[in-house]
C-alpha cells in the first residue's frame, strides 16, 4: 500500500532552500519517492491552526520506504540543512 509524506512549511532562507531542492529531489527519487505536489496552500478548509504557506506531498511505495528515506544517510545532511532554511511540520500517512 502506498504511503504519503506531507510537509507544511514556511521558507525562512530562500537561497538555502533553492540550493537544497535538487539534492532533496535526488534523494527522494533514489528512495523510490516522487513529488505529487509542492507549492502554495490554496485555501484552509477547516481547523483553527493556521497552516504554513507551502505544502508538499510525496508518494512512496510503502510506509517502510517513507521511513527509510527519512532515516537514510542520504537524507540526513539535507534534513539538517532544511532546519536552517525552513520551519516545517512533516508526517507520513498510509494510502
DSSP character string of 37-67: EEEE-----S-SSPPPSEEEEEEESSHHHHH
Can you give the pTM of this predicted structure? 0.89
Is the confidence at residue 51, as pLDDT, over 70?
no
Q: How many helices (H) and strands (E) does the chain have?
A: 3, 4
Domains and CATH numbers, the chain: 3-42+52-94 (3.30.70.100)
Cβ 5 vs Cβ 66: under 8 Å: yes
Judged by average pLDDT, the poorest of 14-23, 38-47, 80-89 is 38-47
β-pair type (54-60, 34-40): antiparallel
In this structure, are residues 70 and 4 in contact, taking their beta carbons and an 8 Å threshold?
no
Residue range 69-82: average pLDDT?
A: 95
Amino acid at each position: 500500500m502506498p504511503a504519503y509524506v506531507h510537509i507544511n512549511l514556511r521558507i525562512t532562507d530562500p537561497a538555502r532552500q533553492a540550493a537544497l531542492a535538487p539534492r532533496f529531489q535526488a534523494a527522494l527519487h533514489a528512495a523510490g519517492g516522487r513529488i505529487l505536489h509542492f507549492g502554495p496552500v490554496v485555501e484552509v478548509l477547516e481547523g483553527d491552526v493556521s497552516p504554513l504557506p507551502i505544502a508538499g506531498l510525496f508518494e512512496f511505495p510503502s510506509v517502510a520506504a517513507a521511513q527509510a528515506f527519512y532515516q537514510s544517510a542520504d537524507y540526513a545532511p539535507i534534513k539538517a540543512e532544511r532546519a536552517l532554511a525552513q520551519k516545517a511540520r512533516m508526517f507520513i500517512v498510509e494510502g
